[in-house]
Chain A
């Protein structure tokens, strides 16, 4: 089955610790994205990557880091510099081709930092 997997579903961390969220896709998509959702808010873009070994900051990149060493994988690290890390994190991917811009999402990871 083709799709996007995120693990784990729920993650708990102590304040001051870095944590890495996993995102893997087997859709052969070139582009991958990380979003954050907070209650009552839409999806806000953290980082995105349109090709391996390249990525760009989204609208709320401060306190986060990413890598894109393989086409299938786009892990997100939430660092201790992120002031409000508790949120629902969503990973997505898309094929980069003309007139087809749908992004497909994983199931999400709920991160709680106390």
Chain B
């Protein structure tokens, strides 16, 4: 049972445009959400997070939106840069405990 799903395995965007990566979840007990970026053969690096009591969090070019009623979150990258090309994972934390549940990842390619 996949509790965190990223339905788009890949996304291709032109440099300078907006990248929108999507993530859906099914577990109502998730209360904290995170986005990670991963290059091949490296560990993921933390990008941005959002608590379930908020609907938006912004950090520079990265903004995460949370729609609790739809159990959906998205990561917006504006403007997209070629260095943003990587696999992006969303993750969720269940109330109580520290373990995270990860989605399958979306490969973002930003074309110059």
Contact = CB atoms under 8 A, between A and B. Distances in A.
B12 to A, nearest CB: 17
Q: Bin the interface of chain B by size.
A: 20 to 34
Interface string B49-85: 1010000000000000000000000000000000000
A107 B43 contact: yes
Q: Chain A interface secondary structure, helix, strand, loop or mixed? A: strand
B16 interface: no
B89 A43 contact: yes
B104 A94 contact: no
A68 interface: no
A19 B104 CA distance: 27
A110 B41 contact: yes
Contacts of A58: 99
Contacts of A90: 43-44
B11 interface: no
A33 B49 CA distance: 19
A40 B51 contact: no
Contacts of A108: 41-43
Interface string B1-40: 0001010010000000000000000000000101010000
A58 B94 CA distance: 14
A96 B98 contact: yes
A22 interface: no
Contacts of A40: 9, 104
9 contacts: A42-B4, A42-B102, A42-B103, A42-B104, A42-B105, A43-B102, A99-B32, A101-B49, A108-B41
Interface of A: 4, 6, 31, 33, 35, 40-45, 48, 50, 58, 88, 90, 92, 94, 96, 99, 101-108, 110
